[in-house]
Amino acid sequence: MSEPKQESAVQKMLGDFAPKLVQVTDDVLFGDVWAREELSPRDRSLITVAALIAGGNTEQLPFHLKKARENGLTETEIVEVITHLAFYCGWPRAMSAILVAKEIFNK
């Protein structure tokens, strides 16, 4: 008898509230897009973190900063990315992102 499948982070967060969004997040985004071999997980994390900062989407940053560290990015590299983006995406977005990073890295 196989063990029940462990709930994903999005399943825990959304449960049955948005089952289709849960399914495409788990199956397409993380099951297919993140699994493609054309970019390393480290590179995907770097791109994702930069895109979230550029878009001002700090609510998604905690999850992706942790994932970035799991995928090999150092805290120093992430801080450097945020510093670099301050000049391309705006100071307020970088300051918001650095505060999230500081909170995540200090835990």
List Cβ<8 Å contacts ≥24 apart for 2-6.
none
pTM, entire model: 0.87
Question: What is the structure's pLDDT at 15?
Answer: 82
3-class DSSP string for the chain: CCCCCCCCHHHHHHCCCCHHHHHHHHHHHHHHHCCCCCCCHHHHHHHHHHHHHHCCCHHHHHHHHHHHHHCCCCHHHHHHHHHHHHHHHCHHHHHHHHHHHHHHHCC
Question: What is the structure's pLDDT at 35?
Answer: 94
What are 64-93's pLDDT values in tens digits?
Answer: 999 999 999 999 999 999 999 999 999 999
Question: What is the structure's pLDDT at 25?
Answer: 93
Question: What is the structure's pLDDT at 3?
Answer: 65
Query: How far is it, in rounded angstroms, from Cα 57 to Cα 72?
Result: 22
Task: Average the pLDDT over 15-21 and give the result.
Answer: 91
Query: How far is it, in rounded angstroms, from Cα 27 to Cα 19?
Result: 12
In the CATH hierarchy, which top-level class contains the domain 39-107?
mainly alpha
Question: What is the structure's pLDDT at 37?
Answer: 96
Whether the Cβ atoms of residue 25 and residue 7 lie closer than 8 Å to each other: no
Domain spans of the chain, in order of start: 1-36, 39-107
What are 26-79's pLDDT values in tens digits?
Answer: 999 999 999 999 999 999 999 999 999 999 999 999 999 999 999 999 999 999
Question: What is the structure's pLDDT at 97?
Answer: 98
